[in-house]
Amino acid sequence: MIDSHVHLNREEFRGETADVMARARQAGVHGFLNVGYDLPSSRESLALAAAHPAIRATVGVHPHDAETIADATGQITSAGHEILAELTDLAARPEVVAIGEIGLDFFRDLSPRPAQYAAFTAQIKLADQVGLPVVLHVRDAWAEALAHLDEVGLPAKRGVLHAFSGDEAAVAWARERGFLLGIGGPVTYKKSRLPELVALAGVEQILLETDAPWLPPVPHRGQRNESAYLAHTLDKVASVLELAPAEVARRTTASFVRLFGALADPADRETTTAPPER
């Protein structure tokens, strides 16, 4: 299976990438989509993907960092134009398979909302221009973000709603428009509504992700998350869907490959390999 959203470039993993990847492989994770969230992490993402055939990269600027692209009135700044130009260059590299993570975050509001909208709009258009799908980050802004996508125009290659935390209406929106839902550690949390939403969506509409080093699944809450722990999310999703874990691993991997393309590492094509017993 593939960890469809991870940040191996983070300092939490410094010097440990090889060990983290080895533990992941033992847990049945053979591929990684390393997601950028600002310009430096986008460059690091590409460097990781260039060094490891099992890793693919995304490049983009997170809503938290939208102010590096646009000002508080929603005007793209000259520094922002430079960042967008470099993202466009990076996106031309074959290791880069999506634009992200981009979106709206009204939970933390770390950048002014007009700046978030402007950065989001510019990067939706960038995705279409370079012919790539998007990895979306949305928090406490589901209605606004989905309406904005409809208004700006959906990227032709669609994408994934990472760390999905929307409601039934968001599941329906995604189904009607061909977007996938990224499901991670929170599906294992006691009070989460995600199990019923995963059941509503069905296996064909989801991708598995860790968002490591963040959002660890039970029983690793409070620890640094890593890709090996995706096995716990897989087990939970499989039990919700009443499918065998190996079946969920196979079908979500197939969905990943349809959206983002195959990984370069031949070992990662063992998509039918059952995860080991745990």
Which residues here bind Zn ion, judged by CB under 5 A? 211
Write down the least CB distance from residue 266 to Zn ion, Å.
27
Q: Which is nearer to Zn ion, 32 or 238 (CB)?
A: 32
The CB-of-10 to Zn ion minimum distance in angstroms stands at 10
Residue nearest Zn ion (C-beta atom): 211
Buried residues in 43-73 as b, exposed as e (16+ CB within 10 A): bbbbebbeebebbbbbbbbbbbbbbbbbbee
The least CB distance from residue 274 to Zn ion, in Å, is: 28
Strands (E), the chain: 2-6, 31-35, 55-59, 96-105, 134-139, 159-162, 180-183, 206-208
Shortest distance, CB of residue 128 to Zn ion, whole angstroms? 22
Rounded Cα gap, residues 222 and 95, in angstroms: 32
Distance CA 34, CA 260 (A): 12
- Indicate the length of the chain as a whole number: 278
Nearer to Zn ion, 127 or 241 (CB): 127
Nearer to Zn ion, 95 or 211 (CB): 211
Cα–Cα dist 199/179, whole Å:
16
In whole angstroms, how close is the CB of 211 to Zn ion at the nearest point? 5
Q: Of 164, 165, 149, 33, whose CA–CA distance to 100 is shortest?
A: 33
**Residue placing its CB nearer to Zn ion in the complex, 211 or 268:** 211
Beta carbon nearer to Zn ion, 63 or 275: 63
